[in-house]
Chain A
Amino acid sequence: KAGVTQTPRYLIKTRGQQVTLSCSPISGHRSVSWYQQTPGQGLQFLFEYFSETQRNKGNFPGRFSGRQFSNSRSEMNVSTLELGDSALYLCASSSRGGNIQYFGAGTRLSVL
């Protein structure tokens, strides 16, 4: 089985721009979670989607949003980028039982 695929791997944006990140889960997995990883804050949960519905949400401002498509692929959008949004964004998928998450390689976003 192919693993969790995230695209693009690297992104460079400037302040004020918006960005969309993509995640393709493992085939058959319907749950997709997003995390932000930074050296200072570690891994922080952004949100989780299951069957196209947001099921859980972390403590991030409304500039961070996401969606999930009928094929379980998910996108994450960050609008009005700030310097502090520079991070590695990780996507994880899990099966319906949901107790084990499998992570993608991440998208490294640099905001200049």
Chain B
Amino acid sequence: AQSVSQHNHHVILSEAASLELGCNYSYGGTVNLFWYVQYPGQHLQLLLKYFSGDPLVKGIKGFEAEFIKSKFSFNLRKPSVQWSDTAEYFCAVTRDNYGQNFVFGPGTRLSVLP
């Protein structure tokens, strides 16, 4: 069964610091990869997605992620975080052509200090 791991449970940064959240998955075939964000008190929202093509994917709010197939990784980055980025971030994987049965990582809580 495929699984998704996220390297950090809780990350604390100061505003303007750079962010990188790790995500690794176990499935060896073709995958679709996602990062979702859950702001305090709000529902899950899609940040960015990778299906195919350029492995560097740009999402909303200045976030980007890089798919490295050889490392089974899909790390999320942002060059300069803001207090409003405080949220929980989830990496998710689904297999190509299935589209469902998403497997989510355990989440990384990001706290940005003003």
Contact = CB atoms under 8 A, between A and B. Distances in A.
The answer to whether A and B belong to the same complex is: yes
Interface of A: 31, 33, 35, 42-45, 48, 50, 55-56, 90, 92, 94, 97-106
Interface in B1-60: 32, 34, 36, 42-46, 49, 51
A92 B90 CA distance: 15
Given A33-B100, A48-B100, A99 B51 contact: yes
Contacts of B43: 90, 103-106
Interface residues of B, number: 22
Contacts of A92: 44, 102
Interface of B: 32, 34, 36, 42-46, 49, 51, 90, 94, 98-107
Nearest to A39: B107
9 contacts: A31-B99, A43-B90, A44-B104, A45-B102, A92-B44, A97-B99, A99-B49, A100-B46, A105-B42
Contacts of B34: 100
A101 B94 CA distance: 11
A46 B23 CA distance: 22
B67 to A, nearest CB: 15
A90 to B, nearest CB: 7
Contact of B102 (A33, A55, A97, A104): A33
B5 to A, nearest CB: 11
A91 to B, nearest CB: 10
A18 to B, nearest CB: 25
